[in-house]
Structure 1
Amino acid sequence: MDYRRLGRAGLRLSSLSLGAWATFGQQVGRGVARELVAAAWDHGINFFDNAESYAQGEAERVMGDVLADLRLPRDGWCVSSKVMFGAVDDPRPTQQGLSRKHVHDACHAALKRLRVDYLDLYLCHRPDPETPIDETVWAMDALVRQGKVLYWGTSEWSAEQIREAHAVARAHHLQAPSLEQPQYNLLDRQRVEAEYAPLYAAFGMGTTTFSPLASGLLTGKYNDGIPDGSRLAREGYTWLQRGLRGARVEALRRFTALAAELQATPAALAIAWCLRNPHVSSVLLGATSVSQLLENLAALDVLRRLDDAAWARVEATFAGV
C-alpha cells in the first residue's frame, strides 16, 4: 500500500480506502462487512469512509460494530462521516442541512453509531443553500476545538464556496476545511482537474475521491445493457442510466478491450488512472465481496507497471466523450 498526505496536512491516508456507500447496511451485512474491513486492514488500508445518510445510519452502525469487533488499534486507522441529508426518512428541518444544530447533533450521532470518541474526518456532504457558510464554518471549528473532529472538509462544493469557507476561517482564526471529496473518474474529470486546480496551491486542499468506476460503468458490466440485479437496475439508482449513451458506450467497450490488452481488469485500470493525479490523496473503493476488493487493490500494481505510452492510450480512449 502507498500512503499520501491529505494535501498539506500531516495526516497520511492509504492511497486506496474503503467506503460504505451503497454497500454496508444494504447489500452487505455485518458478516461480509467484517471480512471486507479485515481484508482492507491486512492490505494496508487505513481509511474507512461513511456518511449519516448511508442506509439511514445503518452503514455507520455496521462499520462501527465491525471496527470494534476486530479490535484494530484506534491510532492505526481513520474514519469519516458526512453531514447534510440526515439519517432518517422524511427528515424534519432540524434533522438535515448544515445549520449549527444539525452539524452538532449529527456529529454526536455519528460518534455513537461508529462507536468512536472522535471522527478523523468530518465532511459537509453537499452545500446547504439554506445555511450561511460562515455558520457552518463556526460549527465545524467548535467540533475541532472540542476534540470531536480532527479534520473537516466538503464534498461536491463549488470552488467558490470552498474559497468563501477559507475566507471566513482566515478572518476569524478558525479551522479551515482540509479536504474536498468529489467524484473523479475517466468520465467525470472537470471539477477535480480544472475547477479545483487553484485550490491545491492556495489552500493545500487534499481530495478523497469517490466513484472511480463511475458507479460500475468502467468495469465493463454495462457494455451490453443493464444486467438484472446490478446497481443501475436497483430502485433509487436508475438515474445513473443516463451515463449509458451511444458515444460513451462505444468508448467503454474500447476501454474494456484496451484493459485486456494491457493485462489488467477494467476496474483496476480505471482506479489506477485516478491514482496518477498527484492531487488525489485517497481513492474510495466500494465492494460487496473480498474478491472484488482484492481485484480493485490490483490497481496499485497496474499503476506501477504501465508506462506513459500506455496511459496515453487510456486517455485517447475517452477523447471527446
Structure 2
Amino acid sequence: MSILGTSNLDVFPLNLGGNTFGWTSDEATSHQVLDAFVQAGGNFVDSADVYSVWAPGNSGGESEAIIGSWLAKGQRERLIVATKVSQHPEFPGLSATNIAAAAAASLQRLGTDYIDLYYAHQPDDNTPVAESAAAFDALVRAGKIRHIGLSNFSAEQIDEWFAVANEHGFVTPVALQPQYNLVARAEFENELAAVSARHQLAVLPYFSLASGFLTGKYRSEADFEGKARAGMAGRYLNEHGLSVVDTLVSVAAELKVEPATVALAWLRSRESIVAPIASASSVDQLPALMDSATLELSGEQLEILDAASEPVQVS
C-alpha cells in the first residue's frame, strides 16, 4: 500500500479506472471486476461525472452510478473513491455554483455522503482560481470530500492554484492526474514532474497503457478494427510506438508476465508515481494489472525500457 501524497489515504498501488463502467462493460460485468479487484487486495477506483457520455445512449454519470450500486452492497468502507468535476454536459467548468451542484449529483449517483478524492478535471479559464479553490475548500470543510486533486493542469496552473490556496488558507490538493506512459513521456517529464515533487503531489497517471496500445495487442491498423479504443490507441501506431512495444514484449517474455504488467510496473518505478490508473472491461483482464503492484523491475530492465521509450511528444 502507498500513502497518497500529503493525505492520510493508504491506497493500493494500482488505481482501477472506472471509465469502462457503462461503456465497454455493463453493470453486472463492472460489479464482477470490482469484486475481483477488492478480493485481490485493491481499494482505489477512479471515475468522473462525465464517464461515459461518449457512448451511444449515455448522458454522463454512468460510471459513478455503477460504482454506487456496487457500494450499496455494503462495500463503502472497502473502497477509496475518486471522481471529477468540470466536463459533464450539465455541469461544465469550475465555477463555485457548478462545483457544488456537480458534487451533489456525484454523491447521489455514488450513493455516499463523501468522496475520498475530488478532482478539478480540467482548468477553467473563465473562472478565477480563487473561486474554484474556495469551492473545493468549502466541500472539504463540509465533509463532502476528503481531499482535492487536479487533472490536466499545466505546471503554471498548478503553481497558481497552490499560491491562491496558501494565500487564502484553503485546503491544498494532494494529487495530480496527468497523461503519462511509455509512449507519452515528454509532457510529464519535461514540465510536470518537478512541480509535482515541489508540491508533494501524488501522481496518478491516466492512459497508463496508452489506451491499450501497451498491452502489445496492436501491431497494425487491422488490429484496431472494431475496437472501442481504436481512435485513441491508434495514434501511437508509428515507428517509435512499435519499437517501444517490441522492447516491452521482450522484457515481459523474460519475466514471464504480460506486457501490461511491465508497462505499469515501469510507471510505478518513476518518482512521485503512487498508483497508475488502468481499467479492465472484464475480470480476465485484471490479473495483468494487479501483478504490476508487486513486480519490481531490475535496474537493467528499467534502463532498457528508458532507452527504448526516450521521450517523444505524441501529437
TM-score, normalised by the number of residues in structure 1: 0.89
Query: 2:28: which partner in 1?
Result: 31
8 Å contact kept, 2:243–2:308: no
- Does 2:250 match 1:252? no
Query: 2:62: which partner in 1?
Result: 58
Query: 2:115: which partner in 1?
Result: 119
Structure 1, 204-213 or 105-114: larger mean CA deviation: 204-213
Matched positions, count: 304
8 Å contact kept, 1:213–1:267: yes
- Does 2:208 match 1:212? yes
Describe how 1:40-189 pairs up with structure 2 within 5 A. Answer: 40-55=37-52, 56-69=60-73, 71-72=74-75, 74-86=76-88, 88=89, 91=90, 95-189=91-185
Quote how far apart the aligned CAs of 1:310 are: 1.8
Runs of 4+ aligned residues of structure 1 deviating over 6 Å after TM superposition are none
- String of CA shifts for 1:17-43, please: whole Å, max 9, x gaps: 21111x101111111111111111111
CA distance in 2, matches of 1:77, 1:215: 24
Query: 1:197: which partner in 2?
Result: 193
- Does 2:308 match 1:317? yes
**Matched letter for residue 16 of structure 1:** L
Structure 1, 29-38 or 105-114: larger mean CA deviation: 29-38
8 Å contact kept, 1:19–1:49: yes
**Matched letter for residue 206 of structure 1:** A
8 Å contact kept, 1:264–1:302: no
TM-score, normalised by the number of residues in structure 2: 0.91
Query: 2:56: which partner in 1?
Result: none
Quote how far apart the aligned CAs of 1:320 are: 6.2
Cα 1:144–1:320, aligned 2, differ >3 Å: closer, same or farther?
A: closer
CA distance in 2, matches of 1:9, 1:239: 32
Query: 1:308: which partner in 2?
Result: 299
8 Å contact kept, 2:177–2:205: yes
Gaps of 5+ in 1: none
Query: 2:55: which partner in 1?
Result: none
What is the CA RMSD across the aligned residues, in angstroms? 1.7
CA distance in 2, matches of 1:252, 1:163: 35
- String of CA shifts for 1:140-190, please: whole Å, max 9, x gaps: 011111110110111010111111111111111111111111112111223
| Identical-residue share of aligned pairs (%) | 35
CA distance in 2, matches of 1:197, 1:18: 22
Q: Secondary structure at the match of 1:41?
A: helix
Structure 1, 60-69 or 242-251: larger mean CA deviation: 242-251
Match of 1:264 among 217, 239, 257: 257
